[in-house]
């Protein structure tokens, strides 16, 4: 079957493209822009996306057009598809019937931590010999890809990052209602996606739709400390529930964050072992607990899960060290919601990576629809107070224009810099840093390769310092 995928540059649709190609389908696709990591993933899969949504792509005559939720009415290609009567479907709809059918689906949902938790769960299953398939909205470093088929057959495991964003312009349900998992993790729930949800209650309704889709013989792994998720379950639940981040469920004890991130893993009063986790912070502790609990529900003994997580390498763009120059460490992180930004900064601040007295600089792009609309700018300011200096990219025009005055909003943050040009912003950061500083670049998009822009500007400083040291040595 020939599939033409609209919106192939997105993490979900790009992952779907890889799965379709691996299943033997002919795959083409288009998007306005495709940037890393998906551009690299598609290239490795042998898929060369078409730039733009020109109506003449209808002449490709695929067996089916698969439409991503980035596509709206008025899109030239979509209008041509509708006018022609060609076959089309949504990405989640195609995935359910062609990839997930008959598989043992393990879904990870929540406002934060989906990618990391799903990656942890897939790695645990891999180390246990299950060879799971997966579709994850990031690149787990242990696998090097965002999606794979894994072992194929009825009952084989498939881990999926279950997003609450809408399915398509013709299906406004959340994507995750198409997946019908046997095991589902509900990590946490906050207000997000202000462009499609009016309030938190609207998102809670979608999460309850997911709960309705889980079989009675399945399992729900739920954050027991989250009030919004408690309200979701109060609306009705037909599946056995296990809780984490609560003393009577899966929880951490004897936590040591001063050096290595270590803690005991318990289920109620049962101690399963001590975990030294490569990733810092409370959120990653919760992610690990959720993954261990979900793996246990899938038949993997907790000690075996702990053994796997001790070797977990993390996820690309989740506090990933991009490089070091002039004594400065630069990280790339996907955080884009105020809660995630705070968790990233707090976790790094408490980790052994930062020496006492070292500065932490935050470089942020308010790129998501929620952040560009400005509905969370007060919370954003509070989350950024954990940084010693703040730098913000806030263009006033173009596709990613910010609809609020970032300079005014960040005024209470001493020394905050707001720029509308990427090169100007990188230059400001490079001029402001000191040796031993840590710079965290945060965005849910490509951010114009900002970590590398900063490192490239710091590299000449490192070279100049080295040349000076050599000259001083020669003079001595």
Domain annotation for the chain: domains and CATH numbers: 2-92 (3.40.50.720), 102-309 (3.40.1190.10), 320-464 (3.90.190.20)
More confident call, 346 vs 246: 246
Question: Which of 209, 217, 207, 206 is CA-nearest to residue 239?
Answer: 217
The CA distance from 105 to 159, in Å, is 6
Q: What is the DSSP string of 333-393?
A: E---SHHHHHHHHHHHHHSTTSPTT--EEEEE---SHHHHHTTTHHHHHHHHTTSSEEEEE
What is the rounded average pLDDT of the residues 391-397?
Answer: 88
pLDDT value of position 258: 61
Q: Is the pLDDT of residue 11 over 50?
A: yes
Neighbours of 348 (CB within 10 A): 22
Q: Is the pTM of this model over 0.85?
A: no
pLDDT value of position 352: 60
User: 37: cis peptide before it, omega within 30°?
Assistant: yes
Q: Is the pLDDT of residue 338 over 90?
A: no
pLDDT tier at 462 (50, 70, 90 boundaries)? low
pLDDT value of position 466: 39
What is the rounded average pLDDT of the residues 206-212?
Answer: 97
Q: Is the pLDDT of residue 470 over 50?
A: no
CA distances from 292 to 29, 79, 315 (A): 37, 46, 17
pLDDT tier at 465 (50, 70, 90 boundaries)? very low
The CA distance from 417 to 406, in Å, is 9
User: Tell me, what DSSP letter sits at residue 55?
Assistant: G
Ranges of H-type helices in 279-337:
282-297, 302-309
CA distances from 213 to 18, 102, 106, 234 (A): 26, 15, 13, 16
Cβ neighbors of 399 (< 8 A, separation 6 or more) are none
Question: Which of 91, 99, 97 is CA-nearest to residue 7?
Answer: 91
Q: Name the average pLDDT for the chain.
A: 90
The CA distance from 142 to 123, in Å, is 7
What is the rounded average pLDDT of the residues 398-415?
Answer: 82
Question: Which of 444, 412, 266 is CA-nearest to residue 338?
Answer: 444
Q: Residues 137-190: pLDDT tens digits?
A: 888 989 999 999 999 888 899 999 999 999 999 999 999 999 999 999 999 998
pLDDT value of position 473: 43
For the purposes of burial, counting CB atoms within 10 Å of the CB of 356, is it exposed (0-12), middle (13-18) or buried (19 or more)? exposed
Q: Residues 276-319: pLDDT tens digits?
A: 987 777 888 999 999 999 999 999 999 999 999 999 988 887 77
What is the rounded average pLDDT of the residues 328-333?
Answer: 92
* 383 conformational bin, left if phi > 0, alpha if psi -120 to 50, beta if neither: alpha
pLDDT value of position 260: 56
CA distances from 288 to 73, 136, 333 (A): 41, 16, 18
- The sheet with strand 2-6 has its strands ordered as 50-51, 26-31, 2-6, 64-67, 88-90
The CA distance from 238 to 214, in Å, is 8
Q: Is the pLDDT of residue 463 over 60?
A: no
pLDDT tier at 464 (50, 70, 90 boundaries)? very low
Q: Residues 42-97: pLDDT tens digits?
A: 999 999 999 999 999 999 999 999 999 999 999 999 999 999 999 999 999 999 99
pLDDT value of position 379: 84
What is the rounded average pLDDT of the residues 426-431?
Answer: 95
What is the rounded average pLDDT of the residues 452-464?
Answer: 78
């Amino acid at each position: 079957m020939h599939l033409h995928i609209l919106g192939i540059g997105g993490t979900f649709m790009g992952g779907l493209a890889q799965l379709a190609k691996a299943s033997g389908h002919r795959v083409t696709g288009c998007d306005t822009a495709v940037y890393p990591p998906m551009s690299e993933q598609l290239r490795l899969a042998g898929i060369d996306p078409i730039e733009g949504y020109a109506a003449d792509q209808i002449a490709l005559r695929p067996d089916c057009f698969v439409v991503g939720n980035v596509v709206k009415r008025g899109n030239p290609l979509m209008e041509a598809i509708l006018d022609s009567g060609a076959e089309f479907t949504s990405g989640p709809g195609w995935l359910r019937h062609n990839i997930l059918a008959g598989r043992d689906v393990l879904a990870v949902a929540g406002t934060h931590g989906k990618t990391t938790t799903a990656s942890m769960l897939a790695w645990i299953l891999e180390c246990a010999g299950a060879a799971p398939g997966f579709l994850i909205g990031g690149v787990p470093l242990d696998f090097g890809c965002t999606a794979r088929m894994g072992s194929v057959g009825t009952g084989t495991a498939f881990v999926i990052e279950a997003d609450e964003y809408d399915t398509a312009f013709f299906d406004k349900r959340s994507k995750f209602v198409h997946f019908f998992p046997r095991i589902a993790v509900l990590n946490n729930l906050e207000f997000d996606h202000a462009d499609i949800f009016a309030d938190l209650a609207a998102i809670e309704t979608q999460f309850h739709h997911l709960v309705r889709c889980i079989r009675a013989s399945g399992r729900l792994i739920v954050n027991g400390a989250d009030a919004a998720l408690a309200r979701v379950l109060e609306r009705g639940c037909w599946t056995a529930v296990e809780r984490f981040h609560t003393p009577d469920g899966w929880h951490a004890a004897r936590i040591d964050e001063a050096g290595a991130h270590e803690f005991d893993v318990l289920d109620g009063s049962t101690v399963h072992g001590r975990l030294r986790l490569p990733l810092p912070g409370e959120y990653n502790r919760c992610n690990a607990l959720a993954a261990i609990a979900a793996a246990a529900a899938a038949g993997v003994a907790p000690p075996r899960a702990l053994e796997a997580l001790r070797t977990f390498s993390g996820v690309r763009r989740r506090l990933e060290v991009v490089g070091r120059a002039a004594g400065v460490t630069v990280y790339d992180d996907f955080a884009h919601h105020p809660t995630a930004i705070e968790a990233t900064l707090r976790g790094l601040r408490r980790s052994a990576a930062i020496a006492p007295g070292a500065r932490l600089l935050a470089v942020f792009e308010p790129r998501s629809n929620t952040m560009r609309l400005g509905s969370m700018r007060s919370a954003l300011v509070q989350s950024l107070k954990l940084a010693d200096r703040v730098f913000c990219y806030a263009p006033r025009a173009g596709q990613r224009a910010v609809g609020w005055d970032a300079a005014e909003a960040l005024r209470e943050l001493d020394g905050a810099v707001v720029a509308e040009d990427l090169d100007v912003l990188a230059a400001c950061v490079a001029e402001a840093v000191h040796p031993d500083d840590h710079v965290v670049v945060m965005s849910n998009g490509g951010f114009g390769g900002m970590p590398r822009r900063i490192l490239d500007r710091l590299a000449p400083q490192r070279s100049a310092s080295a040349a000076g040291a050599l000259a001083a040595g020669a003079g001595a």
